[in-house]
A and B are shown apart, each in its own frame.
Chain A
Amino acid sequence: MKFYRSHILVGINETSLQAGVEEFLRSLRAELSKHNLQEEVNVLETGPLGFFGRGICLSVYPDNVNYQDVKLDDIPELVEEHFLKGRPVGRLMLDTLGKFTPKFDYQNRIVLRNSGLIDPESIDEYIGTGGYEAWEKVLTQMQPIEIVNEVKKSGLQGRGGAGFPAGVKWSFTAPIDAPQKYVVVNADEGEPGTFKDRLIMEGDPHQLLEGTMICARAVGATKAWIYIRGEYKLCIERLQNAINQCREYGIIGENIFDSGFDLDIEIKIGAGAYVCGEETALIESLEGNRGHPRWKPPFPGVEGLWKAPTVVNNVETLANVPYIIKEGADAYRKRGTPDSPGTKVYTILGDVAHPGLCEVDMGTTLRTIINEHGGGMKKGFRFKAALVGGAAGVFLPEARLDVSMDHSSLKEYAAVLGSGAILVINEHQSIVDILWSILKFFRHESCGKCAPCRNGCQQLYKLITKIKKGNGSMDDVELMLTIAETMFATSFCALGQSPVMVIRSAVEYFRDEFIAITNK
């Protein structure tokens, strides 16, 4: 391997592509060559860098300097000052925005351990960081039941929202004797404000594939599908590239590593329905049908895709698996809380200084996440509420900021971890307006199968619109709660059961706002 004195990591994502990162890379390389630095400074294209800045962002190692919004015109100055003279360009540095430097605690990451550090399009770099060791281990040294038991022991819970223990899920499917079983990766990330899976897939697609492979081996599935949002173009490209590389290297295919085990992975692109994130609707869609949920039982683990036993897991869940296998369940359990072990990836957005992605231990308080990883409130704004868990989540007010972010602690406040989206809302924003937009979202995304959700979502939208316009009364607010509770009790799937939580939390913590607007 060549040795470089400096590495410039260039984050390639939708934002930087829009900002013209490809031309930027050509100019940057040309400028470095102009100064004869091409043998000393390496330019690496990576996934998300782990912080969110505007435009094109760079990370320079080993200097640990982060730049944001670097323009073509800045290149000569940047190369001359930083790489020739060794003086970082202050005006382009990320921390000039505020007093905040994002915490990049790479040693403590599990899911995002490679994200922003390696080239996501290179399987060699992934292997270089210890990738596919766990895959080799499960194929050559472990029995499928041992894999299931290890994951069970790790206490890994589903990261898609419901938090069902992954090992337990696998243990339903593993013992079934069936001619065909499937693993389906739920990459149909649709919860508003959530983009963790996208960044996991963009930054380190191989880790997801490895987790998927291990799951397939554990339950005896010889085919895995990745059901992914159609909008995630870059993820699709990178995953396809990663799958091709694995096929080429014999990491998947027939008789992998002479173990006698066959596995293939295929990508299926979704068409953008929120309900297809629900596992049975996802399976229907994968089969080519309308994305309508199915009744459970039978659960997909017993009768899923094309009636075959099928394990459906979220991207983040599976991305945890290689670590668990490699380091062991005990090492994994050292992180997080006893009943929610491990780490969680959050997307912090809204009125924080630094919206973005962070991976922290389960049980970290909401306050810590917002202040230390989101950089606190945007300058000049006061905190009012955080919407935790996306549209299917709850509002938490300032008094609840010290809640430990794990399944059991959140349950006490009738809240859920959900997808890990944290939308921070400032004091000037109206909860009624935000609730309106959430209920508009539900109305749009209800699949229409069952009467409570189909009619209820429309009624809720009409009522909140009336309230928002100042034409409503507190009776309308109560009616909304009655409808939402009926929807919770009678809806077919989780979609229709969800609006009650967000409405109840809005009315419970911000009743004054409803009183004010209905008294207009």
Chain B
Amino acid sequence: MAKTVNIWIDGQHLEVPDSMTIIEAADKHGVYIPRLCYHPDLPPTANCGVCVVEIEGTPAPKRACCTPVNEGMKITTNSKKLRSYRKTLVEMILSNHDVTCPTCVANNKCELQILANNLGVDPESLPTILDRQPVDESSLSIIRDVNKCISCGRCITVCNEVQTVFAITMTDRGIGSHVDTPFGMGMANSPCVNCGQCTVYCPTGALRERGEIDLVWDAILDPDKHVIVQEAPSVRVSLGEDFGLPLGAVTPKKMYAALRKIGFDSVMDTNFTADLTILEEGTECVAKLKAGEKRPLITSCSPGWIKFMETYYPDLADCVSTAKSPMSMFGVLSKTYYAQENNIDPAKIVSVAIMPCTAKKFEARRPELRDSGFQDTDYVLTTRELIRMIKEAGIDFANLPEEEPDEGMSFYSGAGTIFGATGGVMEAAIRSAYFLVTGEELQHLDIEAVRGLQGVKEAAIEVPGFGEVRVAVAHGLSNARIVMDRVRESLATTGESPWHFIEIMACPGGCVGGGGQPYGNDIASRARRGLSLYEEDRSLPVRQSHKNPEVVKIYERFLGEPLSPLALKLLHTYYFKRSVSDGQVVEQVTEKHTAH
């Protein structure tokens, strides 16, 4: 039992654990202390100074975010002086900020804007001290606008501590200090894996995705183009919150309706290729298990993870499934299978993906992902961009009547939909792998051990005829490091991996917490969205990928069987070793069109 202390916040007596900071104690008891750089998911950087409070007996105010509570502490959160300090402080911050609120991507979501509004500051009270710098547009995924940056340091904490990518840090000093990539070479020439967690935690619009909305509109409005759209599993549980629906509302059919209203020619679903991925990856896994392979099989759906692996663990690239991500499988099939089935010239097909992810923009432009003869996936929009597009089109999403998707590549099982939560791919794979190994269906489909937000999850499943299958699930790249370091060490010492099958997702929480998800994407809302995916899974008629009728059909009519030569050509890829200093390709490290 933790020790508790008595404190008084604005006269209100509270008994709180002595391990808490003032702001944690206040938040827990519903007292809101104004803040800017503090975020409950992250260790405090204590950079902004907005959360200062008065403590009886101390000469100067103290930051609530990093001052621990003490027995008998008497805290004032709101006084004439504190109000004046906060106001002047926010005015100072605004004087060094590119104030373009009405057109900023973060408008109405920007924590600085909201704080300034709440405190009633006068943006004109101080002359501007902004020294305008060029915007870093080098990256395919993430735009970095230093002029909007308030140097809160959250992005650095996320990048270096949560994701351990080390793409950005603070450089220079004083008024010239700013967040930058190594040697100021830009995001494209850094170890950045494009996960976009920095864009999620940025309190302003300084970090955002590379926008592709206009390109998609152009394609839609071009009568010569046939525009096909897919949506990732987690998008259906994140869209609604921005339109006044409850957090985690499950809205696939409103989503299809909105996309059709926007003007997409064909509305399909990434969940279909999620099921297909299970068949390819699962077959790969089963082959490995049967062969008694000592090296593990690791999932390959998360593009942030893939670039991270190529940068920091290229020696283990042969352990990563060659199966393309569901998005890229959809992309290549939209210009082959779909084109063939519907008699459309693939040159006229524009394949658009709606993803919770910024790294997918990078993935779509990987030069090796052109097995259809074209760039397999043309445009990637984040959930945030789709929200903006829906708003731009003037669609009343909340009251939109539900519609079904188009047929062919849209049917999905419960296994496909839980891809959006950490552990979901593992659970989906186990449901089908069990069948592939034993020829029998798994009786209990809910595999609770791999669900939830624990950083690294482990489970052992008894498979008749094989024995114990040991699996691990990691989400967030610092957790991926823990798992990969153990694999590397174990392979070096015992020659055997501690686990047979490993799922890794770059973002904490999995895709529901992706870098392209709506603002306010904190751990609590990720957990809620994840639960919604499991609820949808339970409600679906088919819950195993191998039972998806459209998947069965595509093998019958087009691919043959999992890992067939055509499947290997279209649905499997290969990996590179990348430089840890600039993220560029050093050499190809795995074979083309093979399975591991």
Q: Is B93 an interface residue (CB 8 A)?
A: yes
Take A451-B93, A486-B84 as given contacts and tell me if A446 and B47 are in contact as well, using a CB distance cutoff of 8 Å: no
- Which residues of B are found within 8 Å of A485, using beta-carbon distances? 85
1/0 contact trace for B507-547 toward A, CB 8 Å?
Answer: 00000000000000000000000000000000000000000
- Which residues of A are found within 8 Å of B63, using beta-carbon distances? 295, 492
Q: Is B48 an interface residue (CB 8 A)?
A: yes
A450 near B47: Cβ-Cβ < 8 Å: yes
Q: Is B176 an interface residue (CB 8 A)?
A: yes
Contact stretch, chosen from A145-153, A393-401, A456-464: A456-464
Take A449-B47, A452-B92, A459-B129 as given contacts and tell me if A486 and B151 are in contact as well, using a CB distance cutoff of 8 Å: no
1/0 contact trace for B37-67 toward A, CB 8 Å?
Answer: 1000000101111101000000011010010
Distance from B10 Cβ to chain A, minimum over Cβ atoms (Å): 18
Contact stretch, chosen from B135-143, B166-174, B272-280, B390-398: B166-174
Q: Is A181 an interface residue (CB 8 A)?
A: no
B52 near A490: Cβ-Cβ < 8 Å: yes
B46, B85, B92, B152, most chain A CB atoms within 10 A:
B92
B66, B88, B152, most chain A CB atoms within 10 A:
B88
Q: For residues 287 through 313 of chain A, which have their beta carbon under 8 Å from a beta carbon of chain B? A: 290, 292, 295, 297
Q: For residues 79 through 133 of chain B, which have their beta carbon under 8 Å from a beta carbon of chain A? A: 81, 84-85, 88-89, 92-93, 95-96, 126-127, 129
- Which residues of B are found within 8 Å of A443, using beta-carbon distances? 174-175
- Which residues of A are found within 8 Å of B175, using beta-carbon distances? 443, 446, 448, 454-455, 457-458
Q: Tell me the bound Cα distance from A2 to B174 in angstroms.
A: 57
Distance from A269 Cβ to chain B, minimum over Cβ atoms (Å): 19
Q: How many residues of A contact B (CB 8 A)?
A: 33
Q: Tell me the bound Cα distance from A456 to B93 in angstroms.
A: 9
- Which residues of B are found within 8 Å of A452, using beta-carbon distances? 49, 89, 92
Take A489-B52, A489-B85, A492-B49 as given contacts and tell me if A447 and B174 are in contact as well, using a CB distance cutoff of 8 Å: yes
Distance from B374 Cβ to chain A, minimum over Cβ atoms (Å): 47
Q: Which residue of A lies closest to B176 (CB)?
A: A448
- Which residues of B are found within 8 Å of A31, using beta-carbon distances? none
Q: Is B68 an interface residue (CB 8 A)?
A: yes
Q: Tell me the bound Cα distance from A479 to B88 in angstroms.
A: 10
- Which residues of A are found within 8 Å of B96, using beta-carbon distances? 454-455, 458
Q: Tell me the bound Cα distance from A367 to B129 in angstroms.
A: 42
Q: Is B177 an interface residue (CB 8 A)?
A: yes
- Which residues of A are found within 8 Å of B177, using beta-carbon distances? 447-449, 454
Q: Which residue of A lies closest to B48 (CB)?
A: A451
Q: Tell me the bound Cα distance from A116 to B2 in angstroms.
A: 59
- Which residues of A are found within 8 Å of B387, using beta-carbon distances? none
Q: Is B150 an interface residue (CB 8 A)?
A: yes
Distance from A71 Cβ to chain B, minimum over Cβ atoms (Å): 43
Q: Is A242 an interface residue (CB 8 A)?
A: no
Q: Tell me the bound Cα distance from A443 to B175 in angstroms.
A: 7
B46 near A483: Cβ-Cβ < 8 Å: no
Distance from A118 Cβ to chain B, minimum over Cβ atoms (Å): 40
Q: Tell me the bound Cα distance from A40 to B145 in angstroms.
A: 75
Q: Tell me the bound Cα distance from A483 to B84 in angstroms.
A: 10
Dominant SS among interface residues on chain B:
loop
A445, A486, A497, most chain B CB atoms within 10 A:
A486
B68 near A451: Cβ-Cβ < 8 Å: no
Q: How many residues of B contact A (CB 8 A)?
A: 36
- Which residues of A are found within 8 Å of B88, using beta-carbon distances? 482-483, 486
Take A455-B96, A489-B61 as given contacts and tell me if A295 and B89 are in contact as well, using a CB distance cutoff of 8 Å: no
Distance from A134 Cβ to chain B, minimum over Cβ atoms (Å): 36
B170 near A462: Cβ-Cβ < 8 Å: no
- Which residues of A are found within 8 Å of B127, using beta-carbon distances? 459, 462
Q: Which residue of A lies closest to B54 (CB)?
A: A489
Distance from A289 Cβ to chain B, minimum over Cβ atoms (Å): 10
**8 Å CB contact of A445 from B47, B129, B150, B174:** B174
B47 near A483: Cβ-Cβ < 8 Å: no
A297 near B95: Cβ-Cβ < 8 Å: no
**8 Å CB contact of A444 from B44, B81, B152, B174:** B174
A492 near B47: Cβ-Cβ < 8 Å: yes
Distance from B342 Cβ to chain A, minimum over Cβ atoms (Å): 56
Take A449-B47, A458-B129 as given contacts and tell me if A490 and B66 are in contact as well, using a CB distance cutoff of 8 Å: no
Q: Which residue of B lies closest to A463 (CB)?
A: B127
- Which residues of B are found within 8 Å of A497, using beta-carbon distances? 60
- Which residues of A are found within 8 Å of B95, using beta-carbon distances? 455, 459
- Which residues of B are found within 8 Å of A447, using beta-carbon distances? 173-174, 177
A451 near B92: Cβ-Cβ < 8 Å: yes
A451 near B85: Cβ-Cβ < 8 Å: no
B173 near A448: Cβ-Cβ < 8 Å: yes
B174 near A462: Cβ-Cβ < 8 Å: no
Q: Tell me the bound Cα distance from A229 to B321 in angstroms.
A: 54
Q: For residues 475 through 506 of chain A, which have their beta carbon under 8 Å from a beta carbon of chain B? A: 479, 482-483, 485-486, 488-492, 497
Q: Tell me the bound Cα distance from A470 to B81 in angstroms.
A: 31
A490 near B89: Cβ-Cβ < 8 Å: yes
B174 near A456: Cβ-Cβ < 8 Å: no
A489 near B173: Cβ-Cβ < 8 Å: no
- Which residues of A are found within 8 Å of B174, using beta-carbon distances? 443-448, 454, 457-458
Q: Tell me the bound Cα distance from A492 to B47 in angstroms.
A: 7
Q: Is A273 an interface residue (CB 8 A)?
A: yes
Distance from B65 Cβ to chain A, minimum over Cβ atoms (Å): 9
A290 near B170: Cβ-Cβ < 8 Å: yes
Q: Tell me the bound Cα distance from A455 to B151 in angstroms.
A: 11
- Which residues of B are found within 8 Å of A488, using beta-carbon distances? 60
- Which residues of A are found within 8 Å of B50, using beta-carbon distances? 451, 490
Q: Which residue of A lies closest to B177 (CB)?
A: A448
Q: Tell me the bound Cα distance from A188 to B149 in angstroms.
A: 32
Q: For residues 452 through 507 of chain B, which have their beta carbon under 8 Å from a beta carbon of chain A? A: none
B46 near A295: Cβ-Cβ < 8 Å: yes
Distance from B125 Cβ to chain A, minimum over Cβ atoms (Å): 8
Q: Tell me the bound Cα distance from A295 to B63 in angstroms.
A: 10
- Which residues of A are found within 8 Å of B129, using beta-carbon distances? 455, 458-459, 462
B84 near A451: Cβ-Cβ < 8 Å: no
Take A295-B46, A458-B96, A458-B175 as given contacts and tell me if A490 and B151 are in contact as well, using a CB distance cutoff of 8 Å: no
Distance from A176 Cβ to chain B, minimum over Cβ atoms (Å): 18
Q: Tell me the bound Cα distance from A448 to B149 in angstroms.
A: 13
Q: Which residue of A lies closest to B150 (CB)?
A: A451
Distance from A297 Cβ to chain B, minimum over Cβ atoms (Å): 7
Q: Tell me the bound Cα distance from A491 to B129 in angstroms.
A: 18
B46 near A450: Cβ-Cβ < 8 Å: yes
A292, A444, A458, most chain B CB atoms within 10 A:
A458
1/0 contact trace for B146-179 toward A, CB 8 Å?
Answer: 0000111000000000000000001011111100
Distance from A451 Cβ to chain B, minimum over Cβ atoms (Å): 5
A450 near B48: Cβ-Cβ < 8 Å: yes
1/0 contact trace for A180-208 toward B, CB 8 Å?
Answer: 00000000000000000000000000000
Q: Tell me the bound Cα distance from A207 to B75 in angstroms.
A: 46
- Which residues of B are found within 8 Å of A492, using beta-carbon distances? 46-47, 49, 63
Q: Which residue of A lies closest to B68 (CB)?
A: A297
Distance from A42 Cβ to chain B, minimum over Cβ atoms (Å): 49
**8 Å CB contact of B92 from A273, A445, A448, A483:** A483
**8 Å CB contact of A490 from B85, B150, B172, B176:** B85
Q: Tell me the bound Cα distance from A129 to B129 in angstroms.
A: 58
B60 near A486: Cβ-Cβ < 8 Å: no
20 CB-based A-B contacts, threshold 8 Å = A444-B174, A445-B174, A447-B173, A448-B151, A449-B47, A451-B49, A452-B49, A452-B92, A454-B151, A455-B92, A457-B174, A459-B92, A459-B126, A462-B129, A483-B92, A486-B85, A489-B52, A489-B61, A490-B61, A491-B49
Other than the known A457-B174, A490-B85, what 10 A-B pairs have Cβ atoms closer than 8 Å? Answer: A443-B175, A449-B177, A451-B49, A451-B50, A458-B174, A462-B127, A483-B92, A486-B84, A489-B81, A489-B85
Interface residues of A (CB under 8 A from B): 273, 290, 292, 295, 297, 443-452, 454-459, 462, 479, 482-483, 485-486, 488-492, 497
Name the 7 nearest CB pairs between A and B, nearest first.
A448-B177, A490-B49, A486-B88, A455-B92, A446-B174, A458-B175, A489-B85
